[in-house]
Each structure stands twice: as structure tokens, then as C-alpha cells.
Amino acid sequence: MSMEQNLSRYFQLLKKGVKAIKSNNSPDHREVFAMGTDLSMLRLFESFLESAPQLLLQLYIILNYNQTSITQYICIIGSVLSIAWATVEYRRCFRRSLARVKDMPSGVPTAVYLLYKFFTISSRSTIAGLLCLLVFYAFLHPKSERPEADEVDGQMQERLHKTLK
């Protein structure tokens, strides 16, 4: 989706929102909430299509090459937060658009749900990164350069000890 299309959708939402406020008409309000939910879903797709691959790539680089910098950790945290916030915002917009469901309260409940999503996505992405590393070593790593099992165990134990220090 291009920037112009995105801005156009927001502008249409803003126009309809002003119109709904002026008219005090319930169907107009529902239409505005539906448009907001659609935009939130597009942001959710954008987040998963941009941040998730970046997150997996950063995790793979850290796990495989054992080269870390503060920038990589900031990128990882930013990617996880982007995905977590997109899911939280979509849920809030979706609940708001439904007639019979109470709106998700802002403040502490939203923060708790955001932390829940952050830790859930962090754990799942770490597992996905480890799986990528395993697939690389099992199938894609050249056999002539493939380390022996004892050597890999020793390297993994060294990395684990360095991480825990």
C-alpha cells in the first residue's frame, strides 16, 4: 500500500468522522468505527509483513554469528513492540466496532494486554529464530564446513555461559 493510499484512507476516515459527529446519527458512527477497524487491520498486516521478517533476521544474525550490538537489541525490541501494539490496537478497534461488546478500557488493561502480547511474541519469535538456525545447520550449511556435534555442543555451552554472565 502506498503512502498516498494510506493518507487517502485516513483523510476519508477524518471526513466521515466529522460528518458523524455533526449529524449524531448512529449508522454514521458505526461506519466510522468500521473504517477505523479496516485501517487498523491494514496496519496489522503491515506490521507482520515488515517487522516479523526483520525480527527473525536479527535473531538469526545474533544466534548464528554471535555478533551483537545495542542497535540490534533496539531493533529487536522495536520490532516486537510494533507487532504487539498492532495486535492490541486492532483488538481495541474491533471491539469498538461491535455493537454488543463493551469497549476495551484504556490505561492499565491495555498496558497489561500489551505486555502479554510483547512477551508472547518475544517467546514465539525466539523459537522461530532458533528453528531457522537449526534448519540452516541441518540442511543448508555446507557439509565440508559443518562442525562436529561435540564442537557445536561446546560452542553452544560457551555462548550460554557468556549470555548468563
For the stretch 4-52, pLDDT in tens is 666 676 667 667 766 766 677 667 666 777 777 777 888 888 888 888 8
What is the Cα–Cα distance from 129 to 146, expressed in whole angstroms?
19
Q: What is the pLDDT of residue 144?
A: 47
Sign of CA dihedral 136, 142, 145, 149: positive
pTM above 0.75, yes or no: no
Which are the contacts of 121, defined by CB distance < 8 A and separation ≥ 6? 80, 83, 84, 87
For the stretch 22-31, pLDDT in tens is 677 667 666 7
Look up residue 78 and give its amino acid: G
24: DSSP letter:
T
| Length of the chain as a residue count | 165
